[in-house]
Structure formats: structure tokens, C-alpha cells
Amino acid sequence: MARCSYSDVFDVQLDRAHDEEILVGDLVRTGTNLFPHYEVIAVSGDKAWLRDSQNGVDHLASTTRLRKVEPAPLAMAAE
């Protein structure tokens, strides 16, 4: 019996519509969620090994579901 997730049951589309290269060391999030953030530990093909930045728990995820977390521009941080 195959295991399924909520995204499979409810047909939630988490894959991003644009190309984005995910590299080791990137800070990423999954799907359209804003949190949690993960650090990319390793990438192999279309899979990435991730570490949760808050609790240190490791995960595996498809790179098509990852979105880079962009750092806030310095101008906005100064305001």
C-alpha cells in the first residue's frame, strides 16, 4: 500500500511554475508556505537533503517544491 500525503489526497500543487536552481547552502521553504525555512545540505538529481533551521530535523524533498528564501534588501532593513 502506497503512503500518501495531504497534498496527494487534496491534489495540492506545490511545484513551482518557474525554474530556480537549488544549491547546497541555500535557505529554502517548501511550496507556497512562508515557514519553516530549511538549509540545503545536499542535492542529488531532483532530490534535496534539508535541515530545518529551527529544530535541526533533517528531511528529503523534491527540488521542484523548493523556493529560495531571499534575504531582505539592506535598504528595507534600515527603515
- Domain of residue 46, CATH code: 2.30.30
Predicted confidence at residue 44, as pLDDT, reads 95
Residue type, 35: F
Q: Show the domain range for 56.
A: 14-78
Residue type, 56: G
Please classify residue 19 by burial: count the beta carbons closer than 10 Å to its beta carbon, then call 0-12 exposed, 13-18 middle and 19+ buried.
exposed
Predicted confidence at residue 7, as pLDDT, reads 60
The per-residue DSSP string of 32-78 comes to T-----EEEEEEETTEEEEEETTT--EEEEEGGGEEE-PPPPHHHHH
2: in domain: no
Count up the domains in the chain and report the number. 1
Q: What is the DSSP letter of 12?
A: -
Predicted confidence at residue 56, as pLDDT, reads 93
Q: For residue range 21-75, what is the model confidence (pLDDT) as tens digits?
A: 899 999 999 877 778 899 999 999 989 999 999 999 999 998 988 989 876 655 4
